[in-house]
Structure 1
Amino acid sequence: MTAPKPPAPEIKGYCPGALRPMMSGDGLVVRIRPYNGRLNRMQTQGIAALSERYGNGVIDLSSRANVQLRGVTPDTHAPLIDALRDLSLIDPSETVESRRNILVMPFGETPVEAAALTQALGQPDAPALPHKFGFAIDIGPEPVLQSAPADIRLERDATGGLILVADGMHTGKPVKAQDSIQEALALAQWFMDTRGTHNRMAKLLGDGTPPPAGFTTVRQTQTYGPAPGPTSQGMLAGIAFGHVTAGAFSTLGDIRLTPWRMILIEGVHTPPPLDGLITDPADPLLRITACTGAPACTQGLAPTRPLARALAPHLKPGQTLHISGCAKGCAHPKPAAVTLTATNCGFDLVRNGRAGDTPRQTALTSTDIIKAL
């Protein structure tokens, strides 16, 4: 007998925010978008305390370099927001919050362009961009954020000049620093005027829409691969699946967020002895992406992270793995070398594809998966 096909996952069309949280299996998910990708010690400790007081003590790090509190209830949401506002972590309105999707390179000095873009997106006449549309300020000597989700990017070309990049292109437009934010907003408005039904820049350009004039300067190709270890700013450390307890989070001090489910602990060059902190670049958990899964996610059809820990010792050197609780693949929307998608009767295995793609093998047990790896 053929197993019944699971219901199609619900596509909500937006990412959770703080002012517009999203209900999940363990309560409301409240996503905090740290300004400039940084949290100071007071904010880190405050978030941890609020997670325990108003949530369930679980904190997630997202692929957009945000911090998520889980287990919040409708009754605790309002006092949580008031307390986060006291920590200077809340936008003036839900509209502004939805626009402020900004990734900032974690290394070096905080670029002034990040604050300028934040201010510009908060203006009443800023483009009313789709909820998942985002920006990356990646203007170090070499790019480090090209694998992270963003639709409009500021980078350096090979000569050190500043270029504006529409995601999906191999070339960009030279811009002056003083004009860069105005140029970025103009590109965002061009997208809004041109997009039709598209919500992402790469999809629009991939369908054959020609970019505006001037995008002809060749981009640098990213060679940087994020890995735990010391940096000039402090210690870069991984967090398995981006999942950390409030107790551990409270001890981190001043931190910089990254889209790699890693944090840069400022001023620290010896890794702190925290449970769940990954400091070994060879740890196979760094090569596994796993969403929350069941039961914390209402759409998850099976637990994911216990399976991930069980499979980690069986990964081949350099092999990567994505485990998704449903066909949406929220934790890793891009294709992966190996993807396991939960179903009502085991896991389906997809090679070089996304969670919702046609599987190569179906209804696998953990023993089957180990053999398939």
Structure 2
Amino acid sequence: MTGCTVKGWCPDAWRPMMAGDGLLVRVKPRLGRLTRAQALGLCDAAMAHGNGLIDLTRRANLQIRGVSEQGWQRLLDRLLAQGLVHPDPAIEQRRNLLLPPDCRTGDDSHRIACDLLDRLDELPDLPGKTGFVIDAGQACVLRDEAGDFRIERGAGGGLILRGGGRDTGAPVAPGKEADALVALARWFVASGGAHVGRMARHDAALPGWADGDVPPGPPAARIVPGAHDIGTACGAPFGCLHAETLACLLQASSARALRITPWRVLVLEGVHAPLDSMAGLITDPADPLLRVDACPGAPLCPQATVETRDLARRIASLVTGSLHVSGCAKGCARSAPADATLTGSTGLFDLALNAVPGSPAVRSAVGTAELLAHFERRPDAACL
């Protein structure tokens, strides 16, 4: 990753990260849900103390952008008052938990998540990018999402404990799921995992109680814009929207809460009517932007040497598969391979197919005009 600096940690509200447009302040909604009052309060805070832009992250978190160093404390105070940040910075750092966006109060995912949240003080000091995934519905909606310590529905119908990077997991008794997650996290640190950073890169043999041969259950479809059992969903292009847009959407609807997904899609809980088209939001499930990932790029990210999102918009309808436009080889917007991947380098792009950023390129040092012409001629990303 020449020219890229890997931070090795993720920002949160207590420990913001500097970007090209100011500090990034990450908010981790409890159980992936904000009440209507919390969501409106967050929008107001983002406009008062940031530049009004809000990112939706792949961990179903929110990031307030453009916060000044002088305004950070005032923003933090407001987030604490709204119950959006834990008052203990150490606990806040450990609240890296992903669960199905459509979980219900009292179901297995909700129950296990609440149990784990009550025991965060029992966790060891973990690397900043590690996280927990609880995917205990009837199908595994988070099967393709990154996570280090996982509770999932197994292929046989029971729940399993699975470490990140392992294909199979071990059965876990009902009511013992949080015990198993805490124990696996402790084993990870005790066995040297903290030095490699992620469970998928830790090649130590699992202890017998965590080493099983049960595969996770069948995958479920992602939530896409449109009607859903719990409400109505809409997308944010590249996971970015303006706080004013979100506030207007909440005020114009009867949404009682906001669910955050790891797919840059929001669910307005309790809204069961089609959403009016609104600038800055995706309401059509066939919108090609839903197949595109693009990081903020230059100038918002100091590590990027190329603009990303305007190019991604122009190419989106020209590509038949998935597209990833990355400002550098870190690939922050998407960890999985895309059908077509454009990686910025010294002001130009490298094109790779079925790849992640930084992979060997089939075309190197290509400019924007040349890329547009290429995809206009060859909309199938697999063709050259």
Normalising by structure 1, report the TM-score. 0.92
Q: How does 1:239-258 map to 2 (within 5 A)?
A: 239-250=236-247, 251-252=249-250, 253=255, 254-258=257-261
Output the CA distance in 2 between the equivalents of 1:7 and 1:159: 45
Contact 2:169–2:216 under 8 Å retained in 1? yes
- How far apart are the structure 2 equivalents of 1:94 and 1:340? 37
Aligned to 2:205: 210
State the Cα deviation string for residues 187-223 of structure 1 (Å, max 9, x = none): 111111123522111111xx4x322214222321314
| Unaligned segments of structure 2, at least 5 residues | 376-380
| Residues 1:265 and 2:268 aligned together | yes
Are 1:39 and 2:43 counterparts?
A: no
Contact 2:306–2:347 (8 Å) recurs in 1:
no
Q: Which residue of 2 aligns with 1:79?
A: 74
CA distance, structure 1, for counterparts of residue 149 and residue 101 of structure 2? 18
Could you tell me how far apart the structure 2 residues matched to 1:223 and 1:99 are? Answer: 27
Change (3 A) 1:178 1:223: closer
1:190 is paired with a residue of what secondary structure?
Answer: helix
Name the residue aligned to 1:3. Answer: none
Q: CA deviation at 1:46?
A: 0.4
Task: Answer with 161-170 or 80-89: which moved more.
Answer: 161-170
The answer on 1:312 being equivalent to 2:316 is yes
Does 1:198 pair with 2:202? Answer: no
Contact 2:140-2:216 within 8 A present in 1 as well: no
In 2, Cα distance between equivalents of 1:222 and 1:183: 23
> Could you tell me how far apart the structure 1 residues matched to 2:327 and 2:260 are?
25
Residues 1-373 of structure 1 mapped to structure 2, 5 A cutoff: 8-110=3-105, 111-121=110-120, 123=121, 125-196=122-193, 197-204=195-202, 207=203, 209-214=204-209, 215-250=212-247, 251-252=249-250, 253=255, 254-273=257-276, 274-316=278-320, 319-370=321-372, 371-372=374-375, 373=381
The AA in structure 2 aligned to 1:297 is: C
SS at match of 1:309: helix
Q: CA contact under 8 A between 1:106 and 1:256: conserved in structure 2?
A: yes
> Partners in 1 of 2:220 and 2:79 — Cα distance?
37
Whole-Å Cα distance in 1 between the matches of residues 103 and 17 of structure 2?
A: 34
**C-alpha displacement of 1:11:** 1.4
Q: Which moved more, 1:192-201 or 1:238-247?
A: 192-201
Gaps of 5+ in 1: 1-5
| SS of equivalent to 1:247 | helix
1:112 aligns to what SS in structure 2? helix
CA distance in 1 between partners of 2:14 and 2:275 (Å): 33
Query: Where has structure 1 moved over 6 Å in runs of 4 or more?
Result: none
Query: Given that residues 48 and 246 in structure 1 are in contact (C-alpha distance below 8 angstroms), is that contact kept between their aligned partners in structure 2?
Result: yes
Closer/same/farther in 2, CA of residues 27 and 132 from structure 1, 3 Å limit = same
Shift of 1:229: 2.4
Question: CA shift at 1:152, angstroms?
Answer: 1.2
Quote the Cα distance in structure 2 between the aligned partners of 1:256 and 1:266: 7
Residue identity in the other structure for 1:323: V
- Structure 2 CA distance, aligned partners of 1:198 and 1:109? 35
**RMSD between aligned residues:** 1.6
- 3-state SS of the aligned residue for 1:277? coil
Question: 1:85-122: CA deviations, max 9, x gaps?
Answer: 0100112332222211000111130412112211211x
Task: Confirm or deny: 8 A CA contact 2:326 2:333 kept in the other structure.
Answer: yes
Contact 2:316 2:323 in 1 (8 A): no
Q: Percent identity?
A: 42
Q: Distance in 2 between matches of 1:278 and 1:189?
A: 41
Summarize deviations over 1:111-139 as a string: whole Å, max 9, x none.
12112211211x1x421111110011111
Q: Deviations over 1:140-162 (max 9, x none)?
A: 11110011121111111234312
Count of aligned pairs between the two proteins = 361
Letter in 2 for 1:343: S
Q: Which moved more, 1:91-100 or 1:132-141?
A: 91-100
Q: 1:164 to 1:223 in 2, by over 3 A?
A: same
Q: Residues 133 and 151 of structure 2 are in contact (CA less than 8 Å); yes or no, is this contact kept in structure 1?
A: yes
**Worse-superposed segment, 361-370 or 319-328:** 361-370
C-alpha distance in structure 1 between counterparts of 2:169 and 2:152, whole Å: 9
